[in-house]
């Protein structure tokens, strides 16, 4: 593969998982896994990085090439302050003395939108939101004004407004410092308005590359057209049955206790959910969207009976989800959840047959013997896998297959309600399209009822009948999905929709180029 990046230019490398995008970035940084070798030439300002020793590459990393990783919490040291971590990059390269390094750390944190009055250098990563932590990682990467900045999926786990802010920040940094940027992403919509050029990769090869507008207008290679179609994929949901309430949430309030500010002072409280009410009908697909910190996950845990509520009531099939502060097991077995990270939600030491039968512990008389094997096979085949896959370990599957196994685990006891918590946000666009089509098929086969929690508005638009918009612990707007998205009434909904990345139509781009 061959491509180049000019100073002040943003080049996006896109493709499915396993296409070689991240390996390309790691090759530039000299961080390839053991027993992997890069051949050819990687030239930075005329110097071939592949000819440098490890000691020489240590001087290049951070000083000439900076890197922003996908998951900021794993890129940051939880026991060090943000000031120490940004200054560390400077001190390791002995670019300036400690007092000046602290001053530069303060300067770059200000530049990435973390002002001193709200974000002193003494803050720790756990005190920041996901978007704020990503800004700290960016500050570390640009502390020494590198010639090249590599951003590896820097916005995948962020909500739409935070994503838009981070993309604008990266674009501004490239313009201000004149650095080149290599942006790695699986989503064409994310870089359609940002990148100067796009490189499309598949199986370690470049399928197509060129200026962004021309490439999206022409899409000469079938694989590029496939990625574009997956990014704009719409599923065919069956019509919902007549309304019949299944889940009823009535004026639910959830408070958290805050630490004392003074010795012997009364601790304060933070209200994460503020009197939320809604009804989810049987066979209906309901979406819940909002920024990080709006209360989506707190409300989800309350519905699952995993957290007590300080006010209101949650009913499933007319029965309370909570008995006092404990979950009502009779009701709890009627609900299952599919999490964002399928690998993190499974025990890697167990085979698939044991993993997907975990919900059996909720049953009074779980199936055994041949009945158990039949249930496992049926659940796996329902999500497009083979019954024989039950004897494999979770590491033997791809990300999309793992999410199918997570859905099989949720289906195996035939729950009345499934909660999908950011279930497709970590998947590339083609795998995401397959999982969304699977949901539509399962809706036809099992008459699924689900609550779909996501920050990806394009996904929520296509897999839900109704949608709720949550802000600061309150439902500010709800209604039929298409109507809410086409004619948002609340300013916050309008802000979310405006921030969501949208792929331009090829026809419109062709008209501009002609």
DSSP state string for 184-200: EES-HHHHTTT-SEEEE
Same domain, 336 and 200: no
Would you give the DSSP letter of residue 396? G
Contacts of 437 (CB under 8 A, 6+ apart): 233, 235
Q: What is the pLDDT of residues 139-180, one digit of tens each?
A: 999 999 999 999 988 887 788 888 888 899 999 999 999 999
Q: Where are the alpha helices (DSSP H) in 286-398?
A: 296-303, 329-332, 352-356, 369-382
Same domain, 202 and 338: no
Q: Where are the alpha helices (DSSP H) in 31-142?
A: 54-60, 72-75, 82-92, 98-111, 130-142
Same domain, 211 and 277: no
Same domain, 160 and 280: no
Query: How far from 483 is each of 458, 471, 479, CA to CA, in Å?
Result: 14, 19, 7
Q: Can you spell out the DSSP letters for 243-288?
A: P-EEEEEEEEEEEEEPPPSSTTPPP-EEEEEEEEEEEEETT-EEEE
Mean pLDDT (the chain, rounded): 89
Q: Would you say residue 121 has pLDDT above 70? A: yes
- pLDDT score of 223: 93
* Residues found in the chain: 514
- pLDDT score of 425: 78
Residue 359: which of 397, 396, 399, 406 has the closest Cα?
406
Tell me if 217 is assigned to some domain: yes
Same domain, 68 and 190: yes
Higher local confidence (pLDDT), 79 or 323: 79
Find where tokens 């750390």 sit: 105
Higher local confidence (pLDDT), 107 or 343: 107
Same domain, 30 and 139: yes
Tell me if 43 is assigned to some domain: yes
- pLDDT score of 467: 97
Tell me if 508 is assigned to some domain: no
Residue 211: which of 501, 513, 429 has the closest Cα?
513
Contacts of 411 (CB under 8 A, 6+ apart): 336, 379, 382, 383, 418, 442, 446
Say if CB 98 and CB 87 are below 8 A apart: yes
- pLDDT score of 322: 85
Dist CA 155 CA 135 (whole Å): 11
Residue 136: which of 61, 76, 208 has the closest Cα?
76
Dist CA 456 CA 232 (whole Å): 12
Structurally, the chain folds into a number of domains equal to 2
- pLDDT score of 293: 79
Phi-psi region of 192 (alpha: psi -120 to 50; beta: other; left: phi over 0): alpha
Q: Where are the alpha helices (DSSP H) in 219-293?
A: 222-231
Same domain, 24 and 156: yes
Find where tokens 């099939």 sit: 317
pLDDT classification of 72: cutoffs 50, 70, 90? confident
* Percentage of the residues of the chain whose pLDDT score is greater than 70: 99
pLDDT classification of 514: cutoffs 50, 70, 90? low
Say if CB 208 and CB 195 are below 8 A apart: no
Say if CB 225 and CB 428 are below 8 A apart: no
User: For residue 413, what is the domain's CATH number?
Assistant: 3.40.50.300
Dist CA 279 CA 418 (whole Å): 15
Backbone torsions φ then ψ of 25, nearest 5 degrees:
-65, -45
- Which residues on neighbouring strands pair with residue 254, listed in sequence order? 273
Tell me if 237 is assigned to some domain: no
Mean pLDDT on 261-267? 82
Same domain, 299 and 427: yes
- pLDDT score of 332: 86
Same domain, 280 and 205: no
Q: What is the pLDDT of residues 198-255, one digit of tens each?
A: 999 998 899 999 999 999 999 999 999 999 888 888 899 999 889 999 999 999 999 9
Mean pLDDT on 451-476? 93
- pLDDT score of 496: 92
Q: Can you spell out the DSSP letters for 30-53?
A: T-PPTT----S--EETTEEGGGS-
Q: Would you say residue 258 has pLDDT above 90? A: no
Dist CA 470 CA 490 (whole Å): 11
Find where tokens 């083979």 sit: 386
Backbone torsions φ then ψ of 287, nearest 5 degrees:
-100, 150
Find where tokens 């674009």 sit: 171
Long-range CB pairs of 479-482, under 8 A, 24+ apart, other chains included: 481/287
Tell me if 507 is assigned to some domain: no
Residue 423: which of 367, 396, 463, 386 has the closest Cα?
463
Residue 70: which of 175, 186, 169 has the closest Cα?
186
- pLDDT score of 313: 93
Same domain, 492 and 397: yes
- pLDDT score of 455: 83
Same domain, 205 and 157: yes
Q: In the structure encoding, which two tokens stand for residue 14, read together?
A: 């896109």
Expressed as residue numbers, the domain containing 220 is 10-231
Say if CB 460 and CB 481 are below 8 A apart: yes
Say if CB 283 and CB 449 are below 8 A apart: yes
Same domain, 478 and 385: yes
Say if CB 443 and CB 285 are below 8 A apart: yes
Tell me if 506 is assigned to some domain: no
Dist CA 30 CA 50 (whole Å): 8
Tell me if 120 is assigned to some domain: yes
Per-residue exposure over 67-90, b if at least 16 CB sit within 10 Å of its own CB, e if not: bbbbbbeebbeeeebbbbbbbbbb
Tell me if 238 is assigned to some domain: no
């Amino acid at each position: 593969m061959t491509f180049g990046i000019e100073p002040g230019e943003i080049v996006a490398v896109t493709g499915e998982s396993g296409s070689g995008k991240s390996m390309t970035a790691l090759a530039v940084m000299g961080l390839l896994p053991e027993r992997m070798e890069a051949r050819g030439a990687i030239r930075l300002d005329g110097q071939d990085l592949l000819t440098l020793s490890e000691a020489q590459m240590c001087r290049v990393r951070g000083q000439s090439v900076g890197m922003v990783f996908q998951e900021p919490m794993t890129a940051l040291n939880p026991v060090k302050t943000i000031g120490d971590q940004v200054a560390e990059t400077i001190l390791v390269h002995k670019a300036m003395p400690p007092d000046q390094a602290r001053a530069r750390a303060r300067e770059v944190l200000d530049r990435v939108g973390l002002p001193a009055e709200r974000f002193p250098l003494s803050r720790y990563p756990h005190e920041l939101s996901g978007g704020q932590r990503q800004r700290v990682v960016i500050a570390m990467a640009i502390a020494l004004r590198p010639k090249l900045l590599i951003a590896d999926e820097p916005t995948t786990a962020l909500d739409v407004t935070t994503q838009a802010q981070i993309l604008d920040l990266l674009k501004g940094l490239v313009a201000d410092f004149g650095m080149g940027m290599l942006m790695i992403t699986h989503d064409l919509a994310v870089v359609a308005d940002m990148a100067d050029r796009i490189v499309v990769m598949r199986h370690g090869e470049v399928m197509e590359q060129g200026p962004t507008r021309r490439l999206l207008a022409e899409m000469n290679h079938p694989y590029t057209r496939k990625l574009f179609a997956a990014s704009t994929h719409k599923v065919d949901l069956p019509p919902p049955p007549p309304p019949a309430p299944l889940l009823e949430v009535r004026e639910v309030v959830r408070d958290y206790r805050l630490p004392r500010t003074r010795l012997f002072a009364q601790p304060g409280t933070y209200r994460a959910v503020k009197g939320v009410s809604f009804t989810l009908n049987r066979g209906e697909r309901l979406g819940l969207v909002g920024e990080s910190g709006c209360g989506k996950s707190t409300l989800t845990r309350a519905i699952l009976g995993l957290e007590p509520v300080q006010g209101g009531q949650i009913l499933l099939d007319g029965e309370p989800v909570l008995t006092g502060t404990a979950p009502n097991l009779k009701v709890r077995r009627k609900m299952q959840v599919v999490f964002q990270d399928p690998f993190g939600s499974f025990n890697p030491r167990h085979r698939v047959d044991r993993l997907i039968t975990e919900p059996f512990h909720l049953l009074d008389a779980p199936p055994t013997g041949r009945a158990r094997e039949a249930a496992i096979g049926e659940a796996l085949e329902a999500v497009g896998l083979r019954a024989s896959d039950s004897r494999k370990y979770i590491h033997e599957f791809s990300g999309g297959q793992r999410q199918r196994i997570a859905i099989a685990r949720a289906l195996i006891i035939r729950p009345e309600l499934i909660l999908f918590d950011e279930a497709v946000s970590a998947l590339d666009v083609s795998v995401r399209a397959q999982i969304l089509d699977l949901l539509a098929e399962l809706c036809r086969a099992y008459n699924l009822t689900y609550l779909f929690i996501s920050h990806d508005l394009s996904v929520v638009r296509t897999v839900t009948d109704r949608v709720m918009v949550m802000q600061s612990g309150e439902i500010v707007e709800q209604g039929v999905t298409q109507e809410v998205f086409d004619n948002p009434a609340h300013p916050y909904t309008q802000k979310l929709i405006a921030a969501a990345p949208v792929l331009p139509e090829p026809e419109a781009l062709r008209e501009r180029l002609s």
